[in-house]
Amino acid sequence: MTSLATLTEQNLISKPKIDRILFALCRLDAWRVRKHIGTSRTVVFTLPGQSSTAPLLPHLQKIFPCERHVFVYDGCVDSTARAVRLTNTTATTSSSSSNNTTRMSPSLPRSITSTTPISPLTSIRDYPTHLYELSTIPAAAVEAWMSSVDAFLTLKENERESGYLPFVCRLGYLFADTGRLGNGAVDQSELALANVLQYVTGSRSRALDGMVLDAAKVALRNCRSVEGKEMQKYGQVVTVGERVAIEACVFAHKGILIGDKTLLDTVQPKKEWSLKAAKKMTSCSCCAPEDESDGDEEGSNGGGGGASNDGEGGSRGGDGVIPNMVKSPYVDGKNAFAFDPSKFTGM
């Protein structure tokens, strides 16, 4: 997939041929595992890393418009830290096994597919100048993250034409990374995992297979255990200064603004979940109507295209106004008159 993403980005093969190749590879792999998928009749394909998302995501949506798509993401700082830890782990493993004969893997390691941006971010003018305060690996990981999220937002903007309606999954929910912006206040990892499985297997209207759910819980615990061990071993690989620089890079994109904010239509962990977030219509005209505070009402999420600084000192309340501020006579011009004439009588 990484090679195919590179060929796509460099325009070495025409887009129709890329579509046919990608479709054929997926069908061949599905045929290969057809006897091992069980009664759910579900095959899941995953991209090898965030660097391949931008070039391949539009093709996957085009050739599989009726299949179920899942977009999993994490905050930019956390994704960058994970990429740095992967690089350190790969370097340590390589040095310890340099004297041993090892079998070469046919695929690239995740330390490369997660940190090497295949598609440069061209939607931001002079974007490389925003990365100069970061060292090589963090800068590459940030651009890979930005390009993948940019591809996601582009498809969502043209949702009516592309038909792109994925299950938008925040990794912080699955990893129980609570107490931080966008990840919630309590551990809802099991509920979030059940929601993902319900969507992937198409079993939302009926109970999940107990064996499938238990196996998924074990796999998730193993992933969280590996993550915890790597964090203990390498510590805080992203410094305070790098965190500030990363957020500045993210802020350069007008559709993201805050690297730890939930993206548009992120599915909130709940029994009656929805692929589309409820939209507020009472926000002021300077905030996008689809932009919502994290967790301030059921079914809401922080839209990826908003300008509000949810979770910080100036967050909006549930009624869409800023607490402790005098109510303005002006109203949202998108939903009513630009101003209420009755409020200006006698002035």
Domain assignments of the chain as residue spans, ordered by start: 70-96+106-273, 277-347
Q: Stretch 329-338: mean pLDDT, rounded?
A: 52
Residues with Cβ within 8 Å of residue 303, at least 6 apart in sequence: 263, 264, 265, 277, 288, 290, 291, 292
Q: Stretch 167-187: mean pLDDT, rounded?
A: 85
Question: Which residue, among 241, 239, 260, 257, has the nearest Cα to 249 in the 3D structure?
Answer: 257
Q: Stretch 320-347: mean pLDDT, rounded?
A: 49
Q: Kindly tell me if the per-residue pLDDT of 255 is higher than 50.
A: yes
Whole-number Å distance between alpha carbons of 206 and 40: 12
pTM for this entry: 0.74
Whole-number Å distance between alpha carbons of 136 and 144: 12
Residues with Cβ within 8 Å of residue 186, at least 6 apart in sequence: 178
Whole-number Å distance between alpha carbons of 250 and 160: 27
Q: What is the CA radius of gyration of the chain?
A: 22
Q: What is the pLDDT of residues 31-72, one digit of tens each?
A: 998 888 777 678 888 888 888 999 999 999 999 999 999 999
Q: Which one-letter DSSP state was computed for residue 180?
A: B
pLDDT of residue 333: 53
Tokens 């179920």 -> residue: 68
The residue among 304 and 109 whose pLDDT is bigger is 109
Task: Dihedral sign for Cα 177, 182, 184, 189, please.
Answer: negative
At what angle are helices 15-32 and 2-9 packed, to 10 degrees?
170
Whole-number Å distance between alpha carbons of 332 and 174: 37
The residue among 336 and 150 whose pLDDT is bigger is 150
Q: Nearest 5°: phi and psi at 228? A: -65, -40
At what angle are helices 76-96 and 136-157 packed, to 10 degrees?
130
Neighbours of 7 (CB within 10 A): 16
Whole-number Å distance between alpha carbons of 61 and 40: 22
